[in-house]
Amino acid sequence: MAPSTSHRPLSLVHARLIDPETGRETRGGALVEDGLIKALGPEVIAQNLPSDMVLFDCRGDVLSPGLIDLRASLGDGVANISASAAAGGVTTILADPPLDDPAVVSLLVQCAREKAGVRILPVGALSLGLDGRGIAELGLLQEAGAVAFSEGRRSLASSHIMRCALSRASDLDALVVHFPQDRDLAASGVMNDGELALRLGLVGAPREAESIALFRNISLARMTGARTCAAPVTTTLSLDLITRARAEGHDISCATTINHLTLNENDIGDYNAFAKFDPPLRREEERLALVEAVASGLIDMVFSDHDPQEEGAKDQPFSRAACGAVGLETLLAAGLRLVHADLISLPRLLRAMTSRPAEILRLPQGRLKPGAPADLILFDPDEPFVLDRADLKSRCKNTPFDRARLQGAVRATMVGGHFVHGGLLGGPFVDGVMAQMERR
């Protein structure tokens, strides 16, 4: 077993440093002490460090901030989701479902602190019981530790309740993450509305179900002055609304899922329930527009929408199968498909998964600079592998990427200066006498 580094400074050397906030790439290292990044850059090399320093050889791999995931279901349990996240390079998770009881929020904070290797942050519910009939005690939920408010994977149907919730959130200067979907319009749809749905004999959900709800929520946010984030946006209609709102000076952010960025409706294939999502996968033209929006910065964040489903819930006729997929372990590798296809730069992709979520959520992590929390990942963006869903750490295995050829192996994940995956838990390191020999 590798020696503990909990009370000793650690240096990660020979790394390709990528700062998503600035887009800058350099070669060098990072000095970690007391859970923080103390120094960073080309000068952090073995020859410049004390002889008793613990060194970790990154061997030229990418060192970046750990990923921040806007929404991930705790259906697999805190310990399991933590292991899945760490394996995928995700160091911070906003937990789903949202909670409407301050005592339960406090309990999740404590449970995550005791059982999770990654940071699991609670989200407060907008309505009591998530039933949309009356707003929750947002102030008490925020005091208990809720970092944002949401209805999770559903939309508040009542415009009046939504306005009241946004008004209260504005008073608290809190972020509201809303799922833009007109439930009545989308209710019977099981895939994207269009020619393919007709050919497959499936009921389609019109993309207007998203844009209608988004227009309403933007209008209500403008009335109340609330900070809002639309998640996910999946259509060009929504992108047009976001563009117009920002041009008018409205403070709105938005996010999309890795599934909508890397898959399209054709991936349903022969009624593949692992590719059934809510909102549904869109046409290829829409997917490419989403990618361009991430590359330009119009879409702020990319998240996994990790949603474990039992085998029986997916092993159904497509129209009756549950929506959702696991995604924490494939978030980075799937995103790297876009980098390897030259559709987006690696710093820009990482920005949408690290520093931009941190900025919107007002979190200290997600940055590669001195003074920031040492939540870091080390990965080789080029290493190829074929995903076998049986190898996923998640208890549920419902992934649309089963048997997919991917690139991007996560070598190590660090949270608060401690390795929670790979690294000194079993990776290359030099210590003590070996470190002194390297300096000679």
* Residues identified as active-site: 305
Q: What token pair was written down for 248?
A: 């008018």
Beta bridge partners of 243: none
Beta bridge partners of 379: 62, 410
Q: What token pair was written down for 89?
A: 């390079």
Please tell me the distance from the alpha carbon of residue 302 to that of residue 310, in angstroms, as a whole number: 25
Please tell me the distance from the alpha carbon of residue 21 to that of residue 356, in angstroms, as a whole number: 8
Q: Which helix (H) or strand (E) holds 413?
A: strand 405-415
Please tell me the distance from the alpha carbon of residue 259 to that of residue 335, in angstroms, as a whole number: 9
DSSP track, 1-64: -PPP-TTS-EEEEEEEEEETTTTEEEEEEEEEETTEEEEEETT-SGGGS-TT-EEEE-TT-EEE
Q: What token pair was written down for 359?
A: 């900025």
Distances in whole angstroms, Cα of residue 332 to Cα of each of 64, 194, 279, 338: 12, 30, 21, 10
Tokens 């790394």 -> residue = 15
Residue 291 exposed, middle or buried by CB count within 10 Å (0-12, 13-18, 19+): buried
Instruction: Locate the DSSP E strands across 97-209.
Output: 119-121, 124-125, 149-150, 175-178, 191-192, 204-205
Distances in whole angstroms, Cα of residue 307 to Cα of each of 53, 148, 317, 328, 394: 41, 19, 19, 9, 10
